[in-house]
Structure 1
Amino acid sequence: MPHDHHDDSHPHSLLPPDPALRVKALETLLERKGLLDPAALDEIIETYAHKVGPKNGARVVARAWVDADFHKALMSDATEAVSQMGFYGRQGEHMVAVENTEALHNIVVCTLCSCYPWPLLGIPPGWYKSDAYRARVVREPRAVLADFGVELPKGQKVRVWDSTAEVRYLVIPRRPAGTDGLSEEALAALVTRDSMIGTGLALLPDGAQT
């Protein structure tokens, strides 16, 4: 749902205030006991952060841009639509697609933890889990967007969606102008991880942001 309140009864309120520190401590302990190879872990993280995950989401967005029937299905039931493309599983059980338009820009946060659609975007970036992002984007989303280099027209509204353990969101960025002749694969290359969170825009064919 759009962010409009802070519910202390949310399951996330039971989590420690800084789970990232606890994860790091566990990681350090496993390394010392020889149960975890840091190099292998780094490779896994790199794969999910920059290779596997975001490419999946980009394929979903590109198909929504070119296939009207898929677009309709995605906006109606994103979980089912992306499952049909083979993207499902833990951290992606209940998906909702929200679409950017000329009048509205969407941005996603998890104010209480770091809920994120892993099957589509991989693992969340460090800034997504930071206290600074989680707090500021709710209060001053335009300022946060500016920090990411995104300047929106004054008339375009910004809506912040708060991910939970029950619902995760995928932002469908606006299709760049001048891309009518591009293939679905070429369009997917224009879709960035940040554009699917809402902290970025899709790229133009020359590599610049729209």
Structure 2
Amino acid sequence: MPNPQAQNQFPFSNDVEPLDDHDHDHDHAPVNDDEAYWTQRTAVIQKLLEAKGYFTAAEVRQEIERQDSVTPMLGARLVARAWVDPPFKARLLADGKAACHEMDIDTVEINRLEVVENTPSVHHVVVCTLCSCYPRAILGYHPPSWYKSTAYRQRVVIDPRGVLEEEFGTLLADDIEVRVMDSTADTRYLVIPVRPDGTDGWAEEALIPLVTRDSMIGVALAQTP
């Protein structure tokens, strides 16, 4: 019968010494066992797939670098352009993916990109009530932890004003209508925040730093000059 140990080129874990031989006391730094487990599991699966020829280590590295290059700056560029270019804003609101293509932003992985505009009378905030659907192609591949949390996903639908004020310090006037946009597997949302006062005449490049990730989700306002 073949030796299973010899067949496994990438063992998931090595044998460890029994704890009975550990006869001295010392302090141990806390370890996140779950994180260590999944990190090791991911590495083993990657090596197995590389050995089967599905991809190479270099291709994995390139994909990681590609994902790391996608940041909220892409979304900020869209917003800043919309602030200074009304025809572009109209196209962005009508067809988000097409407008992204105009600016060489790749949104192929997003089936449908809905862009909504905050105004002095209406404020949009985005959530995914089922999981954590997020426009990664324009806001980055790592959504904030609070966006994925059950507390945010459940409460913002019921009490959006309370969440904005208590969790993010975003105060809205009572006469502003708050609309909650629920992302799905097919549809992602991008919020165009209200352009800050005092920025009339500013160039597009100067406006980009005022647009934050949270303002494009709707839990915050754009930065003031």
Give the TM-score category using the shorter length. Answer: 0.7 to 0.9
Structure 2 Cα separation of the partners of residues 121 and 24 of structure 1: 28
Tell me if structure 1 keeps the 8 A contact 2:100–2:107.
Answer: no
Distance 1:156 1:126, change over 3 A: same
Q: 1:33 to 1:161 in 2, by over 3 A?
A: closer
Cα offset, 1:139, TM superposition: 0.6
**Which runs of 5 or more structure 2 residues have no equivalent in the other structure?**
1-33, 48-59
Look up the match of 1:148.
168
* Partner residue of 1:127 out of 140, 146, 160: 146
**Does the C-alpha gap of structure 1 residues 30 and 189 become closer, same or farther in structure 2, counting only changes over 3 Å?**
same
Which residue number in structure 2 is paired with residue 208 of structure 1?
A: none
Partner of 1:86: 104
Q: CA separation of 1:59/1:30 partners in 2, compared to 1, >3 Å: closer, same or farther?
A: same
Q: Does the 8 Å contact 2:120/2:176 carry over to 1? A: yes
The code of the aligned residue for 2:196 comes to P
Instruction: Give aligned pairs, total.
Output: 176
What is the distance in 1 between the residues matched to 2:109 and 2:224? 30
Q: Deviations over 1:94-135 (max 9, x none)?
A: 101000011110000010011111111002111111111100
Instruction: Using the TM superposition, give the Cα deviation of residue 32 of structure 1 relative to its aligned residue in structure 2, in angstroms.
Output: 6.8
Name the aligned partner's letter for residue 153 of structure 1. Answer: A
CA distance in 2 between counterparts of 1:24 and 1:100 reads: 42
1:91, 1:116 within 8 Å by CA — same for their partners in 2? no
Structure 2: distance between partners of 1:131 and 1:90: 28
Deviates more, 1:102-111 or 1:86-95: 86-95
Distance 1:24 1:101, change over 3 A: farther
Aligned partner of 1:163 among 172, 177, 183: 183
Report the CA distance shift for 1:140/1:85 in structure 2 as closer, same or farther (over 3 A): same
Over aligned residue pairs, what C-alpha RMSD do you find? 2.6
Q: SS where residue 87 of structure 1 aligns?
A: coil
Q: How far apart in 1 are the matches of 2:37 and 2:79?
A: 37
Structure 1 spans left out of the alignment, 5+ residues: 1-21, 206-210
Using structure 1 for the length normalisation, give the TM-score: 0.76
Q: Specify the alignment match of 1:114 in structure 2.
A: 132
| Larger-Rg structure | 2
Letter matched to residue 140 of structure 2 = G
